[in-house]
Amino acid sequence: MGRDTAASKVAEAGGAAKAPGRPRFAAIGICCALAWAFLINGAGGAAPTAQFTWQASYVVLSLAMMAFGLVAGKWPQFIESPAAGYAVASIGVAGSAALVVSFAEPSLALLQMPASIVCSCVLGWLYLQWGRFYVRIGARQAVGCLFIGNIAASALKCIAHFCPLPLMCAVTMALPVASVLLCRISLIDIENAPRAAVRFESHNLRGLWKVALAIAALSFVTSFLVGKSFGNQSAAPIDVFLLGRAFEVLISGVVLAVVLGAKKAFNFAQLWRIVLTVLAIDVLCQAMLPQITVIRCVESSAWDLLVLFTWLTVVDIARHAKLNSSVVIGVGWAFYAGSFAGGSMLASWFFAMQVDVAVTTLLMFALALVGTFCLEVRDQDTKWIFAELSGERSSAPEDHRSIDERCAAIGQKHGLTPRELEVMQMLCKGRTKSYIAETLYLTENTVRSHTKHIYTKLDVHSKQELMSLVGA
């Protein structure tokens, strides 16, 4: 079956097709999945550094997202089928009830681990289902739906957190059902949306290792900081909990104002530098002002930003990838969840060893490396992420195949060597000399030498003339 087929059977029964790209209020239903993830992770109200169940849930989520993504890539009905949605919602209800009750009643403590595993698997399925929706809307729409949904999720977290246990259990049980239904409505609304242009094929998708490394590193550091202080936010004092939710709303509002209100451009590096900056501030505060516990709400903001920015990044890559979007989303989220689990587990060990100075130094070093090597604004592959919002001109791999063919014909006619042809093809695709050198394992001086030979043989004097000759 094709990549990301819509809920077409529902549409056929419903008559006239709806206008694509105009999701209704249901499109912010991601708030249910976000709030549910928060509640099932905080069900015990204990710090994850002392709660193996909490840590294991992220390991399971990582494995489930990858496995489900691969299954959905081969069998789309695993995610698209209404029957699958109803079954997952039912399992989510049962898992929620078992998890909440197992933490409230010590005699049922044996249910904690299996219930947590079940809920983590359900969360992975819900995330993949919402991923199908986000890959079929524009990047700016995705920002609106995600961040408005995040504001709604913050409200749901507060409502459930301060409810009596029976009501909190009811809310937790209702959220997976609401998530499935709202996502299905949203998918029907945009079922005729056209497929986005392909930018990432297998050869350049591998070049996104810096994206994966940035997500993994920042997720690891965030988890470490969260685990080192109060653990999950349900264990935090009331003032820290409320300030954390207030920061979530504030940051979401700022992003909405910048991207949707002012329509400002941003790129991958700018986006993730926000998370890096927040984490650096938190590391500094923990080292210099450990007695001011209210500052720990910064960790909650970093965690929230990390989830939202992971959503935006992974979905934008999946939207423009030739690979099945469920596979891309599943693998991308596995980097986040697996690293988050690793950071939490390491926090337990360092917490027991009491080596704060060494930890602070290592964390700052890790953040510096991420900022230096993974958030390079000139990197050609990461420039393609959020191209609609950054103003970057990008061409599809289909265009690249045509460019390669024209370069080969011209190169054969003018006697270019195989290496000169490779350099010519990459120049005509807009690659920089430093990028070409890194990709072909050459020095920049060698690339310059090849470029001069190409210009001489083709009787052109600049990169622009070369591209005009090829018709790039």
- List the chain domain ranges: 24-390, 397-470
Quick one: pLDDT band at residue 125, thresholds 50, 70, 90? very high
Name, in order, each residue with C-beta under 8 angstroms of 459's C-beta and a sequence gap of 6 or more: none
What mean pLDDT is predicted for residues 251-276? 82
User: What are the tens digits of pLDDT across the range 335-392?
Assistant: 999 998 888 887 777 665 555 666 667 777 778 778 777 776 656 667 778 877 765 5
CA angle 246, 156, 101 (to 5 degrees): 125
pLDDT value of residue 224: 80
Query: In terms of residues, how long is the chain?
Result: 472
How far is Cα 146 from Cα 314, in angstroms, rounded to an integer? Answer: 13
pLDDT value of residue 272: 86
Pull the structure tokens for residue 398: 């289909």
What mean pLDDT is predicted for residues 236-251? 83
Task: Produce one character per residue of 419-432: b if its CB has 16 or more CB atoms within 10 Å, e if not.
Answer: ebbbbbbbbbbbbb
Name which of 29-43, 74-88, 349-363, 433-447 the model is least confident about: 349-363
pLDDT value of residue 183: 94
Name, in order, each residue with C-beta under 8 angstroms of 166's C-beta and a sequence gap of 6 or more: none
pLDDT value of residue 438: 79
Instruction: Look at phi and psi of residue 81 and say left if phi exceeds 0, alpha if psi is from -120 to 50, else beta.
Output: beta
Quick one: pLDDT band at residue 288, thresholds 50, 70, 90? confident
Regarding the domain with residue range 24-390, which homologous superfamily does it belong to in the CATH classification?
Answer: MFS general substrate transporter like domains (1.20.1250.20)
- Does domain 397-470 correspond to CATH entry 3.90.1170.40? no
Is the model's pLDDT at 28 over the cut of 80?
yes
To the question of pTM greater than 0.85 for the whole model, the response is: no
Quick one: pLDDT band at residue 66, thresholds 50, 70, 90? very high
Name, in order, each residue with C-beta under 8 angstroms of 411's C-beta and a sequence gap of 6 or more: 420, 421, 424
Name which of 29-43, 219-233, 327-341 the model is least confident about: 219-233
Name which of 35-44, 145-154, 241-250, 393-402 the model is least confident about: 393-402
CA–CA distances in Å: residue 6 to residues 31, 33, 194, 456: 22, 21, 11, 52
Task: Produce one character per residue of 258-277: b if its CB has 16 or more CB atoms within 10 Å, e if not.
Answer: ebeeeeeebbbbebbbbbbe
Pull the structure tokens for residue 396: 């599809």
Quick one: pLDDT band at residue 274, thresholds 50, 70, 90? confident
What mean pLDDT is predicted for residues 61-75? 94
pLDDT value of residue 71: 95
Pull the structure tokens for residue 329: 């989303």
Task: Produce one character per residue of 133-169: b if its CB has 16 or more CB atoms within 10 Å, e if not.
Answer: bbbbbebebbbbbbbbbbbbbbebbeebbeeeeeebb
Is the model's pLDDT at 75 over the cut of 60?
yes
Quick one: pLDDT band at residue 119, thresholds 50, 70, 90? very high
For residue 387, give the amino acid letter. A
Identical fold, 24-390 and 397-470:
no
Is the model's pLDDT at 49 over the cut of 50?
no
Quick one: pLDDT band at residue 19, thresholds 50, 70, 90? very low
How far is Cα 247 from Cα 244, in angstroms, rounded to an integer? Answer: 5
Q: How many CA atoms lie within 13 A of 124 on its CB side?
A: 33
Name, in order, each residue with C-beta under 8 angstroms of 50's C-beta and a sequence gap of 6 or more: 231, 348
Q: Mean of the per-residue pLDDT values for the chain?
A: 81
Is the model's pLDDT at 11 over the cut of 60?
no
What mean pLDDT is predicted for residues 452-468? 87
What mean pLDDT is predicted for residues 260-265? 78
User: What are the tens digits of pLDDT across the range 141-196?
Assistant: 899 999 999 999 999 998 988 888 889 889 999 999 999 999 999 998 887 777 77
pLDDT value of residue 199: 76
How far is Cα 13 from Cα 341, in angstroms, rounded to an integer? Answer: 44
Percent of the chain with pLDDT over 90: 30
What mean pLDDT is predicted for residues 28-51? 75
pLDDT value of residue 13: 34
